[in-house]
């Protein structure tokens, strides 16, 4: 297979012919080659996006634009199987996960943000003036212009469309730089855009890496008006520096080291099930995933034993294996990083409750990026494994004795993306939720997402909020018009 850039409505190879390999994380076999954008390719994409702003897209009435985006959502659903196969091949994730989360949400992102925009009122204020006639103020939103979308590999279509949906709904044009690990669904979306009649240049894709490659060329391009990024905090810092030139707007969704707080008064069945999902779904590669679990002492032993038992029931296997609910990590490189933390945990004095190594997957899959789901206990609060984001299928469990202690432990981190609180006491639920220094809190649930709500992180987990009307704030320029009557 060959994954080309999608520029101005056409699939094109790099001007200099450069490519890189794309490998299947299940067995490290070659999926295909991907064009690697040079500065000239990125320039062509950005200029196409700029040009499209003054073409039919720029003239289109909001209702027409919204109708087109609804068509895009429908077309993703019609080509569901192709998107599903592409996403599973790139990431190795079980079909059962991608078919319930990644692809439906990839389509829903186009509908939800169109609806939000269509139903969002603009503000208006009548002002008294000394002559008694008054003045009318009203808010008018226009697109920001060309938006650079830099996305990661863990939920490729979902996280990319979470940004492309509102960007296009607001009338912008986009240049997307998907992760080098997962080029397929962003490319396939180019076909869908053409099939739906989205004008050329509105949606562009350039492939490549970060530094001195497509990511850097895109974020430093002077015609980019805003940059929306999802990925690691350290990458976010680099992109912020690039955005500071020309004072371009940024939206940053970055890393996390998210806590779960399990109180003795919770429904333990639900807490175990929810923590299982939050720590291990998608092989732990979810920014909202739980890596630190704090359990009130009376239920600590039982919780650890039950989570261990459930983890040991996970079935590792290929995406198409219907029994499998646990795939490989995204790449051998990421496996190396996660495995280094497994070794570090032991050096730092952890008790390995389960897992901790690389599983034997048999001759056909042993060259893939497999890793065991892992639970630790007994680490000190300042251990690196407790403080640094691992982004793998692992968590550390620690007991606590009081609500105050649990809150202090949960907040003792540089990150602030989300927290999960498990308690049947509603007063405690509100108290603890409001004390969490994060952008999102779930009480007695996890990753229960309503697209109309704000999404984003506190502290080093990000800057700004997207989702619902909050996305409109970032993706449009609000102008106040004052009319003297
Ligand atoms: P990453 O930061 O390595 O890469 C993300 C994207 O940035 C990729 O497309 C990459 O090519 C690009 N990039 C890298 N360096 C760049 C540079 N110098 N200039 C421009 N672009 C550059 O992240 P990843 O490994 O793909 O994803 C995992 C990380 O993403 C984790 O830290 C995870 O927590 C985070 N994440 C956060 C959220 C969220 O919503 N907060 C969601 C998913 C993932
Ligand atoms: O559900 C969402 O809207 C969202 N942005 C999820 C992010 C998951 C991170 O891996």
- CATH code at 2-254+461-484: 3.40.605.10
pLDDT value at position 118? 83
CATH ID of 258-450, from 2.40.50.140, 3.40.309.10, 3.40.50.970, 3.40.50.11540: 3.40.309.10
Q: Which is catalytic among the residues 36, 216, 253, 466? A: 253
- Is residue 123 part of the annotated active site? The answer reads no
Q: Which is catalytic among the residues 170, 283, 287, 418? A: 287
Q: Hey, whose CA ends up nearest to atom 5 of ligand 2?
A: 159
- Is residue 312 part of the annotated active site? The answer reads no
Neighbours of 197 (CB within 10 A): 10
* Statement: the pTM of the whole predicted model exceeds 0.95: yes
The 3-class secondary structure across the chain, one letter per residue, is CEECEEECCEEECCCCCCEEEEECCCCCCEEEEEECCCHHHHHHHHHHHHHHHCCHHHHCCHHHHHHHHHHHHHHHHHCHHHHHHHHHHHHCCCHHHHHHHHHHHHHHHHHHHHHHHHCCCCCEEEECCCCCCCEEEEEEEEECCEEEEECCCCCHHHHHHHHHHHHHHCCCEEEEECCCCCCHHHHHHHHHHHHHCCCCCCEEECCCCCCCCHHHHHHCCCCCCEEEEECCHHHHHHHHHHHHCCCCEEEEECCCCEEEEECCCCCHHHHHHHHHHHHHHHHHCCCCCEEEEEEEHHHHHHHHHHHHHHHCCCCECCCCCCCCCECCCCCHHHHHHHHHHHHHHHHCCCEEEECCCCCCCCCCCCCCCCCCCEEEECCCCCCHHHHCCCCCCEEEEEEECCHHHHHHHHHCCCEECEEEEECCCHHHHHHHHHHCCCCEEEECCCCCCCCCCCECCEECCEECCECHHHHHHHHEEEEEEEEEC
pLDDT value at position 117? 83
Domain residue ranges of the chain, discontinuous segments joined by +: 2-254+461-484, 258-450
Which atom of ligand 2 is nearest the CA belonging to 451?
3
Nearby residues of 470 by Cβ (< 8 Å), 6 or more positions away:
454, 455, 456, 464
Question: What would the pLDDT profile of 85-132 be if each residue is shown by its tens digit?
Answer: 999 999 999 999 999 999 999 999 999 998 888 888 989 999 999 999
Q: How far is the CA of 462 from the centre of ligand 1 (A)?
A: 12
Q: How far is the CA of 152 from the centre of ligand 1 (A)?
A: 5
Please list the pLDDT of the chain residue by residue as tens digits (485 residues).
999 999 999 999 999 999 999 999 999 999 999 999 999 999 999 999 999 999 999 999 999 999 999 999 999 999 999 999 999 999 999 999 999 999 999 999 999 998 888 888 989 999 999 999 999 999 999 999 999 999 999 999 999 999 999 999 999 999 999 999 999 999 999 999 999 999 999 999 999 999 999 999 999 999 999 999 999 999 999 999 999 999 999 999 999 999 999 999 999 999 999 999 999 999 999 999 999 999 999 999 999 999 999 999 999 999 999 999 999 999 999 999 999 999 999 999 999 999 999 999 999 999 999 999 999 999 999 999 999 999 999 999 999 999 999 999 999 999 999 999 999 999 999 999 999 999 999 999 999 999 999 999 999 999 999 999 999 889 999 999 999 99
Q: Hey, whose CA ends up nearest to atom 6 of ligand 2?
A: 159
Q: Given the DSSP bridges, would you call strands 418-422 and 258-262 parallel, antiparallel or unpaired?
A: parallel
pLDDT value at position 406? 99
Ligand closest to the CA atom of residue 42: 1
| 281 CB within 6 A, ligand 2 | no
Give the binding-site residues of ligand 1, using a 6 Å CB cut-off. 150-154, 159, 177, 179-180, 209-211, 215-216, 219, 230-232, 235, 238-239, 253-256, 287, 389, 391, 417, 457, 461-462
Q: Hey, whose CA ends up nearest to atom 16 of ligand 1?
A: 210
Q: Using an 8 Å Cβ cutoff, are 398 and 375 in contact?
A: no
pLDDT value at position 119? 86
For a ligand 1 pocket test, name from 20, 159, 231 the mutation site with the most ligand atoms within 8 angstroms of its C-beta: 231
pLDDT value at position 196? 98
Give me the torsion for CA of 283, 288, 294, 300, rounded to 10°. Answer: -40
Ligand closest to the CA atom of residue 442: 2
Q: How far is the CA of 459 from the centre of ligand 1 (A)?
A: 17
Q: How far is the CA of 469 from the centre of ligand 1 (A)?
A: 24
Indicate if 258-450 has the same CATH topology as 2-254+461-484: no
Please state, in angstroms and rounded to a whole number, the distance separating the CA atoms of residues 174 and 190. Answer: 12
For a ligand 2 pocket test, name from 109, 155, 164 the mutation site with the most ligand atoms within 8 angstroms of its C-beta: 155
Which atom of ligand 1 is nearest the CA belonging to 153?
26
pLDDT value at position 64? 96
């Amino acid at each position: 297979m060959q994954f080309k850039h999608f520029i101005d409505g056409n699939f094109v190879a790099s001007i200099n012919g450069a490519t890189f390999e794309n490998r299947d994380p299940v067995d490290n076999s070659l999926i295909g080659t991907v064009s690697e954008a040079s500065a000239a390719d990125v320039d062509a994409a950005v200029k196409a996006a700029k040009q499209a702003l003054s073409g039919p897209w720029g003239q289109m009435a909001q209702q027409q634009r919204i109708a087109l985006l609804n068509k895009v959502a429908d077309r993703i659903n019609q080509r569901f199987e192709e998107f599903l196969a592409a996403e599973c091949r790139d990431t190795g994730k079980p079909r059962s996960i991608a078919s319930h989360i990644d692809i439906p949400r990839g389509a829903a992102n186009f509908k939800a943000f169109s609806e939000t925009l269509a139903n969002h009122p603009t503000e208006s204020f009548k002002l008294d003036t000394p002559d008694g006639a008054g003045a009318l103020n009203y808010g008018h939103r226009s697109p920001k212009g060309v938006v650079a979308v830099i996305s990661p590999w863990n939920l490729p279509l979902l996280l990319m469309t979470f940004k492309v949906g509102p960007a296009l709904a607001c009338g912008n044009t986009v240049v997307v730089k998907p992760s080098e690990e997962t080029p397929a669904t962003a490319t396939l979306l180019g076909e869908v855009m053409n099939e739906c009649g989205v004008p050329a240049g509105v949606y562009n894709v350039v492939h490549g890496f970060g530094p001195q490659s497509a990511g850097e060329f895109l974020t430093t391009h002077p015609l980019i008006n805003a940059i929306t990024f999802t990925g690691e905090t350290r990458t976010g810092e680099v992109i912020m520096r690039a955005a500071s030139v020309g004072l371009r707007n940024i939206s940053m969704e970055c890393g996390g080291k998210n806590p779960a707080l399990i109180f003795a008064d919770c429904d333990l069945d639900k807490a175990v099930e929810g923590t299982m999902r939050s720590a291990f779904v998608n092989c732990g590669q979810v920014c909202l995933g739980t890596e630190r679990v704090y359990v009130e002492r009376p239920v600590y032993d039982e919780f650890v034993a039950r989570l261990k038992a459930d983890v040991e029931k996970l079935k590792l296997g290929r995406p198409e294996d219907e029994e499998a609910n646990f795939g490989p990590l995204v790449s051998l490189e990421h496996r190396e990083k996660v495995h280094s933390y497994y070794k570090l945990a032991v050096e730092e004095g952890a008790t390995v409750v389960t897992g901790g190594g690389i599983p034997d997957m048999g001759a056909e899959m042993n060259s893939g990026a497999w890793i065991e789901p892992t639970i630790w206990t007994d680490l000190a609060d300042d251990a690196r494994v407790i403080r640094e984001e691992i982004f793998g299928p692992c968590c550390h469990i620690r007991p606590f004795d009081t609500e105050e202690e649990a809150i202090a432990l949960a907040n003792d981190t540089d990150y602030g993306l989300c927290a999960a609180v498990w308690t049947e006491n509603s007063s405690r639920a509100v108290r603890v939720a409001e004390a969490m220094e994060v952008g999102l809190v779930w009480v007695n649930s996890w990753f229960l997402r309503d697209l109309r709500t704000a999404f984003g992180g506190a502290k080093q987990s990000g800057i700004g909020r997207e989702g619902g009307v909050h996305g409109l704030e970032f993706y449009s320029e609000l102008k106040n018009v004052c009319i003297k009557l």
